[in-house]
Structure 1
Amino acid sequence: MAVNRWLVHREAPSPNWNARKLPITLVVLHYTGMTSAADAIARLCDPAAEVSAHYLIDEDGTVVRLVDEAHRAWHAGRAYWRGVTDINSASIGIEIVNPGHEFGYRPFTDAQMEALVPLLADIMRRHAIAPADVIGHSDVAPARKTDPGELFDWDMLARYRLALARPKPRMRLIYDNDGAFYLALERLGYDIADRAAAIRAFERRWRPHRITGEIDGHIGALLFELLIQRDMAKDT
């Protein structure tokens, strides 16, 4: 089932894709991390770059389709989420224009978020993707990536039930030992091979105002409540 035509404003077909090997179960959100939308599109369409995404959202809200959803775009790279290592095969990738941490990271525009919401809702409806499976690039590649970053408005997506809501724990939770915490983090979905990077990625998504890379009672409580929230959603 194709995306609704009114959600896409123009096409910029990229040659950088191949066949999927898995069903679509995830959406991965990125920032472009380049100085302009034109530069980002040029790179995503350059065969030598060997990168692409299904969609790009410019700062004025223009939605550009680069790769058909039926195909495997090359946006996640070396990545992992809840046992899946071929994230490109299992996901739809959306690039959101933003210079990123290297070129002057800034809040995403209202127009971008207002374009993302209906696009994402349409994708999730057609592919039966759960809010827990809308994730950031840093979630699937914590040791390599920081996008879409701590300024991305995940709370807005949660209000539309397009992502898990950020819990507001009223108490601290210290796990019996660090191993128990990391097992819970892995259960949520994260690759824990680089433990500090996994914690920073978790914080960037769920506690963006304080990123330390260290376990504390607040992120312990956040993790516990997120697991409950996700598992309860599965049962409804």
Structure 2
Amino acid sequence: MIEVKRHRFEGVQFDESPHTGGKITPRFIVMHYTAGGSALSSVRAIRERGLSAHLFVDRDGGIIQTVPFNLAAFHAGPSSWRGFDGLNQHSIGIENANFGFFDRRTSDGWTRTGLRTFAPHEVLVARHKNGGPEIAWELYPEAQLRALDAIVAALRAAYPTVQEVVGHDDISPGRKVDPGPAFPMARFQNQGGAAGSGTLRDDDLGEFEVVVRETLNLRGGPGTGFAVLRALTPGTRLRVLREEGDWRQVDLQGDRVPDGFVHGAFLRRVGP
């Protein structure tokens, strides 16, 4: 079990990066692959390029942190998601040790220039969801995925503003292909958390509007102990996705992605 203390994972190797930005409120977790060997070698390679990420996760589950979670790391580049541009300012970046794609088939398996041949049981042969040919992608070992299970759970617990796990290929389609088809994204999107996951069922509870005299706090979880994400003005339209006691999980964008929680006493139904 890992825990966040003072924006760092307690007991995890910290190799501080000089490449950081200002303070952030993390709303997303962005998954990447390193396109390289070990996590440590990728820490060094990325640093030399003037880039950074918050975490590097090795194939055996080893973790290296290089940027505190409340500071921007330079991992996303030009990017956009759910109405947010420049995801460096809104996300925690996780680099996973993984070679990525192999575009040349051999009699023994798959490879690409400069790499060994990977056997069929080490890869997934698939087309990328954003297009392209059917090629091979390095599989992510279970030890690495279990480490990511613990990481995502710990980050959701520490930062209730985190609402969705996405890939670099989601926020920069056409420019990036990581973490690729071999990454089991649904495993992490479906994990619990104060703000819920990114995919929701179709039978939400309908459209409502905010009825308050001044403003209504949108919070990261169902209670006043959760962080205030923003203040909603009277008349704000939203969809209620589910009930949790007196609290309602709501969608402000109409994209069926949860944006936070409000108290149900200050909502009035306006639609079916």
The residue that corresponds to 1:55 in the other structure is: 55
**2:46/2:52 contact within 8 Å kept:** yes
Q: Give the TM-score, by structure 2 length.
A: 0.56
SS at match of 2:145: helix
Quick one: percent identity of the two aligned structures?
A: 27
Matches of 1:72 and 1:137 in 2, distance apart? Answer: 16
Deviations 1:178-233 (A, max 9, x none): xxxxxxxxxxxxxxxxxxxxxxxxxxxxxxxxxxxxxxxxxxxxxxxx954x3598
Report the CA distance between 1:158 and its aligned residue.
4.3
Q: Which residue of 2 aligns with 1:30?
A: 32
Secondary structure of 1:64's aligned partner: strand
The aligned runs of 1:59-70 (5 Å cut-off) are 59-70=59-70
Counterpart CA distance in 2 for 1:118 and 1:58 is 14
- Structure 1 counterpart of 2:84: 84
TM-score normalised per structure 1: 0.64
The residue that corresponds to 2:144 in the other structure is 112
Alignment of 1:205-224 (within 5 A): none
Gaps of 5+ in 2: 1-5, 103-111, 113-117, 119-136, 202-253, 265-272
- Inter-CA distance 227–86: structure 2 relative to 1 (3 Å threshold): closer
**Matching residue of 1:5:** 10
> Could you tell me whether the CA contact under 8 Å between 1:11 and 1:66 is conserved in 2?
yes
1:40 and 1:128, CA in 2 relative to 1: closer, same or farther beyond 3 A?
same
1:98 aligns with 2:130: no
The letter for the 2-side match of 1:85 is: D
Amino acid at match of 2:61: G
Instruction: Tell me how far 1:159 sits from its aligned partner.
Output: 4.9
| Residues 1:126 and 1:42: Cα distance change in structure 2 (over 3 Å) | same
- Structure (1/2) with the larger strand percentage: 2
Q: Deviations over 1:146-205 (max 9, x none)?
A: 1111111123224533644598xxxxxxxxxxxxxxxxxxxxxxxxxxxxxxxxxxxxxx
Q: Which 5+ residue runs of structure 1 have no aligned equivalent?
A: 168-225
Which AA in structure 2 matches 1:99? Answer: F
* C-alpha deviation, 1:88, in angstroms: 0.3
State the shift of 1:99 in Å: 0.4
Aligned partners of 1:166 and 1:151: how far apart in 2?
Answer: 23
Output the amino acid matched with 2:144. Answer: Q
RMSD: 2.7
In the alignment of these two chains, the number of paired residues is 172
- Secondary structure, aligned partner of 1:94: strand
